[in-house]
Amino acid sequence: MSTITKSGFLQFKNTGNPAEVLGVADREVPAPKGHEVRVRVRYAPVNPADLNFMEGTYGRAATPPCIPGHEACGEVDAVGPDVQSLAPGDVVIPLLGTGCWAQHLTAPEHAFAKVPSRIDPAQASMLRVNPVTAWVMLKEFVDLPEGAWVVQNAANSGVGRALIQIARRFGLRTLNFVRRAELADELKALGADEVILDTDEGVAQARAILGKAPVKLAANAVGGDSAIRLMDVLSSEGTMVTYGAMSRRSLKVPNKFLIFKNLSLRGLWVTKWFEKASRERLYDVLEPLTEMILAHELVTAVDCVIPYRDCARAIMRAQENNRGGKVLLDFA
């Protein structure tokens, strides 16, 4: 196992506009030692969290210079002499909090999760954040019986689309708020039961659809008035889980929802979930999600694949609102 004398990576030396602060560099990558594993990265998506991290607005402050990137998929190309769980040729996803935007990653073996070699590496690169967030929201906050309704906003987001597909596997029904009516057919093709405009009129429409059926779980990625509309649709004793703040507006809760509905307001940051999850719990989530990907029951849309050295173009595309899916960085 030799040192790799030239391996590319992306880094930013100060926070700011991601398209301006992100740059390409090269480094030597030494042979792994002890329990270390070296992975040759293939794909890595550009997530909103990555953009926020480079902007300096993420929940965990950056300490530049540093390498961004919360997700990736690659192949083990070398292992340290004490490694037991992985071998060269294994396909893995990193479980690191950040630092994935590099041609080679070296970390302890427990920092990687093995996935089937036949999996689409592009889809696997997007497994760790959005699908896991959706799975945890559906399974760990409210005990939902088969046929129960779940309501969400930002239903066309990465998490929203994953939630629709995972909910269908669990036999749950989804009522999905969106900002554009033309998204309805696309989301229904994924398995959405109802797609409604995120407006006050949409709330009235949702009530008419639901009738007396209880709604005990809402997924909030927007905040502001959109979150209030979710609370309006929730039934008494319902729970709203906030995992994003796309509107960048604070969550202001009308007193009536606490006094008369006794709603529970919870938060989910999947980074913290990974930090606390046991290895057993981790695979209890990753394995069925991997099975869904292999069966084409869980598909994450890809807008474009861009070579990592053209990172400015990739970042600018990821910042646009008219994308058809994720922007992937190609580290081949």
Q: What is the pLDDT of residue 5?
A: 78
Terminal Cα-to-Cα distance of the chain (whole angstroms) = 20
**CA 291 to CA 187: how far, in whole Å?**
21
Both 77 and 17 in a single domain?
yes
Same domain flag for 152 and 256: yes
List the Cα angle 197/200/202 in 5-degree steps: 35
| Close Cβ partners of 45 (under 8 Å, ≥ 6 residues apart) | 71, 125, 126, 326, 327, 328, 329
Q: At what angle do helices 279-294 and 130-140 cross, to 10 degrees?
A: 110
Distances (CA, A) of 73 to 18, 36, 114, 123, 138: 22, 17, 10, 9, 25
Residue 58 lies in a domain: yes
Positions in the chain short of pLDDT 70: 1
- Do 155 and 197 have their domain in common? yes
Reported as half-sphere exposure (CB side, CA atoms, 13 A), residue 39 has a value of 33
Same domain assignment for residues 140 and 118: no
Residues recognised as catalytic: 58
What CATH number corresponds to the domain at position 135?
3.40.50.720
One domain for residues 115 and 136: no
Same domain, 90 and 155: no
Regarding whether 143 and 42 lie in a shared domain, the answer is no
Q: Is 156 in the same domain as 179?
A: yes
The whole domain housing 138 covers: 130-269
Question: For residue 1, what pLDDT is reported?
Answer: 59
CATH number at residue 100: 3.90.180.10
> Could you say which DSSP state residue 235 is in?
P
Contact 229, 204 (CB under 8 A): no
* 261 and 171 together in one domain: yes
Number of domains in the chain: 2
Same domain? 225 vs 316: no
Answer whether residue 254 is part of any domain: yes
Contacts of 316 (CB under 8 A, 6+ apart): 19
